[in-house]
Amino acid sequence: MIRKRAWLSGVALTGTVAITAFGGTAFAADVSAPECAVSSVNGKIEAGGGYADMKDENGDFAWEAGGSLSFPLGCMFGFQADLGVTDRFGDTQFGGIGHFFARDPESYLIGIAGGAVDGDDATLYAVGPEAELYLGNFSLEAWGGYVNVDRDDGDGKDSGFLIGDAAYYITDDFRVSVGGRIIDDYEGVRAGFEYQFGGMPMSLYSNAEYGDNDYLAVLGGLKFYFGGEDKTLIRRHREDDPRNRALDLFFKSGNGDNDSGGYGGGGEEPPPT
């Protein structure tokens, strides 16, 4: 019940951020006006590796890769398609997300995003509102809503999720962030950074997350941006492609023979996950 209230409150917070975004007028450090929701057809490819560990699992090498492609729909609206794949604890998962959004690069993004992630033991379906609020060098980002966990053994569960981050651009090419995820019964906190090499459409990134059942993952790698004009990292994030949400939804469904739960898709206790 406590977790259910938590994600319901989180979804409400997502809507609040969205409403605030429409009413606020904030200016980014390196965004010129007027601008459209998506500056031009553009995208990115990202890949990284690292380490993942969790209670009742053997810590091992983990990796992820993803790609995003964004299109302007007129000036006010945009669409983005995300694809992603990851392997953690020997479970290779594939996912895809679609975003439809309105954006003013000076102040906000508001839209809806939804898709699915398929793993060895279950498929997760998620849809809900997505919002970003730009306050100078600060960004607040949230996505939340409905999630369904469809297990391969025929068991299914309706629940909710919230994914949120607060980011600060130390320079126009260097972003640091802190945030967290609530996906079904999983709760975790995370932090990360991204640094774009000056004059190049390439950046170095790293993310770390700690959550329920002593889940720990630390991954890092490179992102390659293409399409559009050369620009700073803060402008890429606010004028071009939003975050790849497929990489936010990957989950641990459990192995079915213990009650240790998992991340993003664990069942209710005492039934095993």
Query: pLDDT, tens digit, for every residue of 80-105?
Result: 999 999 999 889 999 999 999 999 99
CATH number listed for the domain at residues 2-248: 2.40.160.40
Closest listed residue to residue 108, CA positions, set 230, 225, 14, 245: 14
Residue-wise pLDDT tens digits, 14-73 = 444 443 443 443 333 444 445 899 999 999 999 999 999 998 888 999 999 999 999 999
Q: Rounded to an integer, what distance in angstroms lies between the CA atom of residue 240 and that of residue 229?
A: 10
Q: Give CA separation, 197 vs 68, 201, 207, 240, in Å.
A: 20, 7, 18, 18
Closest listed residue to residue 192, CA positions, set 228, 117, 244: 244
What pLDDT, on a 0 to 100 scale, did the predictor assign at position 138? 98
Instruction: Give 26's contacts (C-beta < 8 A, 6+ positions apart).
Output: 106, 107, 133, 134, 135, 136
Closest listed residue to residue 225, CA positions, set 246, 247, 199, 207: 199
Mean pLDDT, residues 109-116: 98
Closest listed residue to residue 52, CA positions, set 257, 249, 214: 214
- The answer to whether residue 5 scores a pLDDT higher than 70 is no
What pLDDT, on a 0 to 100 scale, did the predictor assign at position 265? 41
Weakest-pLDDT range from 4-18, 128-142, 198-212: 4-18
Query: In sequence order, what DSSP letters do the residues of 4-25 get, joined into one string?
Result: HHHHHHHHHHHHHHHHHHHH--
Confirm whether pTM is higher than 0.85: no
What pLDDT, on a 0 to 100 scale, did the predictor assign at position 202? 97
Q: Rounded to an integer, what distance in angstroms lies between the CA atom of residue 75 and that of residue 216?
A: 41
What pLDDT, on a 0 to 100 scale, did the predictor assign at position 199? 76
What pLDDT, on a 0 to 100 scale, did the predictor assign at position 227? 87
> Whole-number mean pLDDT of the chain?
83
What pLDDT, on a 0 to 100 scale, did the predictor assign at position 252? 65
Cis peptide upstream of residue 201 (ω within 30 degrees of 0): no
Q: Rounded to an integer, what distance in angstroms lies between the CA atom of residue 272 and that of residue 254?
A: 8
Res. 133 pLDDT band, cuts 50 70 90: very high
What pLDDT, on a 0 to 100 scale, did the predictor assign at position 264? 44
Residue-wise pLDDT tens digits, 232-260 = 999 999 999 899 999 999 876 543 333 33
Weakest-pLDDT range from 57-61, 96-100, 124-128, 176-180: 57-61
| Strand-pair category, 42-54 with 156-171 | unpaired
Are 208 and 198 in contact, with CB atoms under 8 Å apart?
Answer: no
Q: Rounded to an integer, what distance in angstroms lies between the CA atom of residue 13 and that of residue 22?
A: 14
Q: Rounded to an integer, what distance in angstroms lies between the CA atom of residue 204 and that of residue 184?
A: 31
Mean pLDDT, residues 195-204: 93
